[in-house]
Amino acid sequence: MADLQDDLRTTAAAGESDDLAEPYPDEAAMAAEPYEPVSDPDDAPMTRAHAILAAHPVADGYNGLPWALKRLSYYDLEEGESTVDTDVPRLRRGHVGALFWSLHLPEGLDGDRAVGATLEQLDVAKTVARTCDEGLRPACTAGQVADARNCGRVAVLLGPAGAPAVGDSLGILRQLHFLGLRVLTLSGVSWASDAGLTRFGEEVVREMNRLGVIVDLSGASVPTVRRVLSLSRAPVLCSRSAARALRPHPVNLPDDLLAELGAAKGLCLVPLTAEQTGPTVRDVADHLDRIRAVAGAQCVGLSGTYDSGSAHPQELGDTSCYPRLIAELLRRGWDEADVALLTWGNVQRVLRGADFTARAAQQRRAPSAATISELDG
C-alpha cells in the first residue's frame, strides 16, 4: 500500500504517477484489535465456535439480498423469510454482526442503465434496512459497525457495486458515496480492463481513497491488481476470491498475488460457494488454511455470497451456518486470535484504514474535476 505522507505535503496532479516507497505513517491505524481468549480450550469445537462468535461475530463481505428481494412481492426479514438465504433470525443464529450488501448488476448493463439500476438497488437496500430496524442498522464506518453490534443489530454496509455504476464520472462516484456506497469493484470498464488501469482509472482510485470508498479487486485483471496495490493508499480487498492453487476459478487468486495482497495489508474474502471453494465445509477450510499460510492471518476473511444465485457447500446453506465453519477451523488447530481476525478483526481494520486515509487525503486534496476524455482521450 502506498504511503500517506506525500499527501500530507503536496497533491499530485490528475493522472500523474504518485507511487511512494516510505512506510505507512501510522501503523496503529492498521493494527488488529487486541484479543482476549473467550472460550475454554477443553470445550467441544462447536461450543467454542459459538463462544468466539458471540464476542467476534462474522463480518460477511458479500451478500446479494437487495437484488434477490426484487423478485418478491412480500417478505418479512424480521420474523424469517424462507424464500431467501438471509433473514434476521438466521443472521443471529449465525452470529453475523456486519453484512456487505452487493449492488452488482446482471451482465449487459452499462452506461446510464447501469447507473440507474445501481441507484434502484441503493433505494431497495436503504428501504429494507429502515423497515427492519429491530434487526438491521445502516453503517458506513468502522465505528458505526461496532456501534450497531453493541446495540444488538446487524450492521449493513452498501457495496460492492460494479465499476459501470459510476458511468465514467467522478461526480457520480462522489454522489454514490454520499448515498452510502462503500466498496467498488474495478472491472468491466475501459479504464480498468485486461490491460490494467488507464490514467483515468488511476484517478478513480485516488478519488476513492479521498472519499473512503474501498477498492474491490475480485475479477480484476492481474495488471489492474498490481497497479492498484502500488497506487492505493488505503487497504484494498477482494470481495469473493479463494485460492486458485486449490480451485482454478478465474476469480480466485494465485499464490503470488495472494502474497502481494498480504504484503499490502489487503484482505481476501473467501466465498462460500461450491464453484469457487468446493462442495464441502472442509474444502472451504482448505482455502482459508492456504490463504492464511501464503498471505498471513491478517489477509483472510469471509464472504457468504448468500442470495447471489450461487450454490453453497454442504453444511453452509444459509447465513446461520457460520458456526459449523468455525468449528472445523478449530478442529484444525486455528487459535482463537486468528479466528477473531478472520470473522471480525480484519474487516474492521480495512474499514478503519479507509477512514484514516480519507481524512488525511481530504486535508490536502480537493475533489477531482478530471474527466475520462481529458485523461484517456
User: Residue 25: what pLDDT?
Assistant: 42
Mean pLDDT value of segment 138-161:
97
Measured CA to CA, the distance from residue 197 to residue 226 in angstroms comes to 10
pLDDT digits (tens, 9 = 90+) for 347-360: 999 999 999 999 99
Measured CA to CA, the distance from residue 304 to residue 90 in angstroms comes to 13
Q: Which of 229, 224, 210, 272 is nearest to 86 (CA)?
A: 272
C-alpha cell at 345: 478483526
User: Residue 40: what pLDDT?
Assistant: 72
Go through 301-334 and write b for each residue having 16 or more CB atoms within 10 A of its CB, e for each that does not.
bbbbbbbbebebbeebebbbbbbbbbbbbbeeeb
Instruction: For the chain, give the percent of residues with pLDDT over 70.
Output: 91
From residue 18, how far is each of 5, 238, 363, 373 by CA, in Å? 11, 23, 17, 21
pLDDT digits (tens, 9 = 90+) for 90-104: 999 999 999 999 999
Mean pLDDT value of segment 21-46:
65
Measured CA to CA, the distance from residue 115 to residue 322 in angstroms comes to 34
Least confident of 31-45, 98-112, 150-164, 186-200: 31-45
pLDDT digits (tens, 9 = 90+) for 331-343: 999 999 999 999 9
Least confident of 14-28, 43-57, 269-283, 312-326: 14-28
Go through 148-170 and write b for each residue having 16 or more CB atoms within 10 A of its CB, e for each that does not.
bbeeebbbbbbbbbbbbbbbbeb
User: Residue 20: what pLDDT?
Assistant: 37
Q: How confident is the model at residue 36 (pLDDT cuts 50, 70, 90)?
A: confident
Does residue 66 carry a pLDDT above 60?
yes
Does residue 146 carry a pLDDT above 60?
yes
Mean pLDDT value of segment 141-164:
97
β-strands 161-162, 154-158 pairing: unpaired
pLDDT digits (tens, 9 = 90+) for 302-325: 999 999 999 999 999 999 999 999
Considering the chain, what is the average pLDDT of its residues?
91
pLDDT digits (tens, 9 = 90+) for 230-275: 999 999 999 999 999 999 999 999 999 999 999 999 999 999 999 9
User: Residue 19: what pLDDT?
Assistant: 43
Mean pLDDT value of segment 115-124:
93
Does residue 6 carry a pLDDT above 50?
no
Mean pLDDT value of segment 12-34:
51
Give the DSSP letter string of 287-332. HHHHHHHHH-GGGEEEE--BTTT----TT-SSTT-HHHHHHHHHHT
> How many helices (H) does the chain have, and how many strands (E)?
15, 12
User: Residue 11: what pLDDT?
Assistant: 41
Measured CA to CA, the distance from residue 262 to residue 169 in angstroms comes to 31
